[in-house]
């Protein structure tokens, strides 16, 4: 409101009106490009889930299928995430979202006692792993796996510390699941970097996926020092990750982009509705956003054990926070607030040479940014 008055006052001062016309056009273009910007987030399995907790009523419709599809075109008003990283406003396209019906009873199937269909039990021992990177991805998304294999997953050692990379999938549920399964077996034969567990791979089963990940890490990778869960649409600067870990605590350590006061959504129409019967406090305990969180190896076993006692919710990163809260272990903020980014950081060699993780808008970007960063020349 204030801005409009200001503008009217200035428009009256005649000579500036042309300036103001272009200012208005510029603003409209900006808003339109932001609408586009919001709409192209369709890649991450957890991104919108997480964002929805900060910005209730923003995202409405998600199919129960694996990957996220539609992001709502409602008014989006994104203010501060965590430490004021983002400030973004865009306007409605006026497509009403139907009220979403959450799965009964709002929490997931018992998240353990699954077995591995495809496993790499020797991987960590053979590689003498320092940090194991686990990337949950949907079974059919070989494109994302190949993009990662050809980029940051090629960085296997930093300062003599070995980095191991594994993709974690469940059972394909689509109509062509038999074909996908055959392809997965071949892919595993070729790359030896797949873990597949026997639960149905779907969005509402991401918490199961995460608990299976913890179980795998503590069973097969207990000699490593650290583990990280990374979303498949994330650009990871492996060197910076390892350098941070070289100075990190060796126990009870978890870091990432830590949300400290995310609220529980009580509107039954909202996508991330949880009734009080499932979780009664108004806020979630601190948790590290699902785009990429790092933890010391001891926590894999501890959280896995806690998970036998903490009632599962379908929002996987929140669930890890609930388990950490149960264990009374505090999350650690990263040494620098710009290291982990939930909104895609525009490419810039200098910026990318300093961050650890950022979501990206496309696999193409992910590949391009990584390749550019490998070329010689100064970063900043």
Closest residue by beta carbon to ligand NAG: 202
DSSP SS3 for 307: coil
Q: Number of helices and strands (H, E) in the chain?
A: 12, 15
Measured from the CB atom, the residue of 163 and 180 that comes closer to ligand NAG is 180
Measured from the CB atom, the residue of 12 and 98 that comes closer to ligand NAG is 98
- Residue 273 CB, shortest distance to ligand NAG, in Å, is 13
Query: Nearest CA to 106 among 311, 340, 361?
Result: 311
Query: Nearest CA to 289 among 333, 256, 332, 262?
Result: 256
Torsion of CA 295, 300, 301, 306, to 10 degrees: 90
Measured from the CB atom, the residue of 130 and 199 that comes closer to ligand NAG is 199
- Residue 67 CB, shortest distance to ligand NAG, in Å, is 9
Q: Which residues bind ligand NAG (CB under 6 A)?
A: 61, 63-65, 69-70, 97-98, 100, 109-110, 113, 173-175, 199-200, 202, 204-205, 208
Contacts of range 182-188, beta carbons closer than 8 Å, 24 or more positions apart: 183/142, 184/118, 184/139, 185/118, 187/142, 187/145, 188/118
Query: How far, in Å, CA of 40 to CA of 329, rounded?
Result: 36
Return the number of other C-beta atoms located less than 10 Å from residue 257's C-beta.
Answer: 26
DSSP SS3 for 287: strand
């Amino acid at each position: 409101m204030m801005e409009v008055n200001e503008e009217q006052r200035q428009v009256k001062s005649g000579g500036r009106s042309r300036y103001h016309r272009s200012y208005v056009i510029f603003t409209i273009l900006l808003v339109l490009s932001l609408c586009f910007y919001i709409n192209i987030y369709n890649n991450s399995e957890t991104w919108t889930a997480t964002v929805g907790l900060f910005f209730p009523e923003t995202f409405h419709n998600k199919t129960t299928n694996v990957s996220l599809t539609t992001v709502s075109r409602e008014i989006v008003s994104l203010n501060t995430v965590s430490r004021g990283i983002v400030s973004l406003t865009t306007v409605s396209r006026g497509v009403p979202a139907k009220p979403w019906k959450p799965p009964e009873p709002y929490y997931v199937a018992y998240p353990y006692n699954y077995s591995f269909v495809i496993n790499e039990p020797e991987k960590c021992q053979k590689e003498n792993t320092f940090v194991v990177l686990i990337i949950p991805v949907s079974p059919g998304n070989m494109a994302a796996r190949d993009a990662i294999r050809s980029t940051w997953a090629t960085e296997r050692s930093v300062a003599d510390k070995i980095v191991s990379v594994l993709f974690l999938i469940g059972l394909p549920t689509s109509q062509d699941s038999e074909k996908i399964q055959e392809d997965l077996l071949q892919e595993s034969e070729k790359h030896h970097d797949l873990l597949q567990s026997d639960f149905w791979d779907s969005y509402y089963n991401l918490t199961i996926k995460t608990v299976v990940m913890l179980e795998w890490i503590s069973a097969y990778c207990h000699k490593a020092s650290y583990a990280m869960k990374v979303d498949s649409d994330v650009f990871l600067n492996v060197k910076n990750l390892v350098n941070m870990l070289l100075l990190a605590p060796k126990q009870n350590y978890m870091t990432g982009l830590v949300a400290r006061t995310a609220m529980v959504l009580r509107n039954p129409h909202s996508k991330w509705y949880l009734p009080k019967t499932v979780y009664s406090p108004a806020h979630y305990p601190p948790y590290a956003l699902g785009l990429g969180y790092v933890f010391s190896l001891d926590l894999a076993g501890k959280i896995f054990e806690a998970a036998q006692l903490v009632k599962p919710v379908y929002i996987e990163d929140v669930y890890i926070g609930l388990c950490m809260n149960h264990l009374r272990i505090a999350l650690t903020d990263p040494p620098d607030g710009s290291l982990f980014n939930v909104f895609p950081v525009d490419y810039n060699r200098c910026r990318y040479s300093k961050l650890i993780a950022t979501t990206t808008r496309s696999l193409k970007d992910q590949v391009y940014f990584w390749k550019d960063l490998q070329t010689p020349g100064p970063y900043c």
